[in-house]
């Protein structure tokens, strides 16, 4: 997969409502020759992903606004605006939004897992958080799609 130079403004990048968050694809694996993907995420409290582990990529978070606790393996990090947290592949991790909302950049190397969030979501009709419709997520679908993209949802991680 070949990459070519590109530039994008956040307001022009594709945005999705996915599992209760607003996810904007700043750079995809397709655009970067597979090297990485970069996502801008807005997560409200309670819309965090379940505990999981990536088998194909490292994942890193740069917090722009809000407060987040990131548990990585047996360590826990409190992240606030300006914080960076690295989660190596094959190490379980869990995010907990501590403020009403967080805004962060998520870097995945190599790229590709961003397709999971696109497939689980829908194009965002506005650059706002999705409405809370009270519906429970389809856990079986999440587990199946996560496995397809090299991630494992951990139902019993302590």
Would residue 18 count as lying in a domain? yes
**For position 61, what pLDDT does the model report?**
98
- H or E segment at 142? helix 139-148
Would residue 149 count as lying in a domain? yes
Length of the chain equals 158
Structure tokens at 65: 């606004």
How many domains does the chain fold into? Answer: 1
Question: Residue 146 maps to which CATH number?
Answer: 2.60.120.10
**For position 35, what pLDDT does the model report?**
97
**For position 156, what pLDDT does the model report?**
83
pLDDT tens sequence across 60-88: 999 999 999 999 999 999 999 999 999 99
Instruction: Flag the least confident range among 89-98, 107-116, 136-145.
Output: 136-145
Q: Looking at the predicted structure, is the pLDDT value of residue 132 above 90?
A: no
**For position 6, what pLDDT does the model report?**
95
pTM: 0.94
pLDDT tens sequence across 97-110: 999 999 999 999 99
Q: Looking at the predicted structure, is the pLDDT value of residue 134 above 80?
A: no
Would residue 28 count as lying in a domain? yes
The helix/strand/coil state of 43 is: strand
Q: What's the number of CA atoms in the CB half-sphere (13 Å) around residue 45?
A: 5
Range of the domain at 58: 13-123+142-153
Write the CA distances from 48 to 2, 30, 101, 148, integer angstroms.
33, 26, 11, 20
Q: Report CA 141 to chain centroid distance, whole Å.
A: 17
Would residue 8 count as lying in a domain? no
d(CA 65, CA 89): 25
Write the CA distances from 98 to 69, 77, 82, 147, integer angstroms.
7, 12, 15, 28
**For position 52, what pLDDT does the model report?**
95
Model confidence at 138, in pLDDT bands (50, 70, 90)?
A: confident
Q: Which residue has the tokens 């009709």?
A: 125
Would residue 114 count as lying in a domain? yes
Q: Looking at the predicted structure, is the pLDDT value of residue 158 above 80?
A: no
């Amino acid at each position: 997969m070949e990459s070519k130079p590109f530039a994008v403004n956040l307001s022009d990048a594709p945005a999705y409502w996915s599992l209760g968050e607003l996810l904007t694809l700043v750079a995809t694996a397709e655009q970067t020759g597979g090297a990485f993907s970069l996502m801008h995420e807005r997560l409200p409290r309670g819309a965090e992903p379940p505990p999981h582990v990536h088998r194909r990529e490292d994942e890193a978070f740069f917090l722009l606004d809000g407060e987040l606790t990131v548990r990585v393996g047996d360590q826990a990090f409190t992240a606030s605006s300006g914080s960076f947290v690295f989660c190596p592949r094959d190490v379980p991790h869990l995010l907990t939004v501590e403020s009403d909302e967080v805004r962060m950049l998520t870097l995945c190397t190599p790229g590709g897992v961003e397709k999971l969030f696109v497939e689980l979501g829908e194009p965002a009709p506005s650059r706002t958080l999705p409405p809370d419709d009270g519906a429970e997520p389809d856990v079986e679908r999440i587990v199946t799609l996560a496995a397809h993209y090299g991630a494992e949802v951990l139902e019993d991680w302590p």
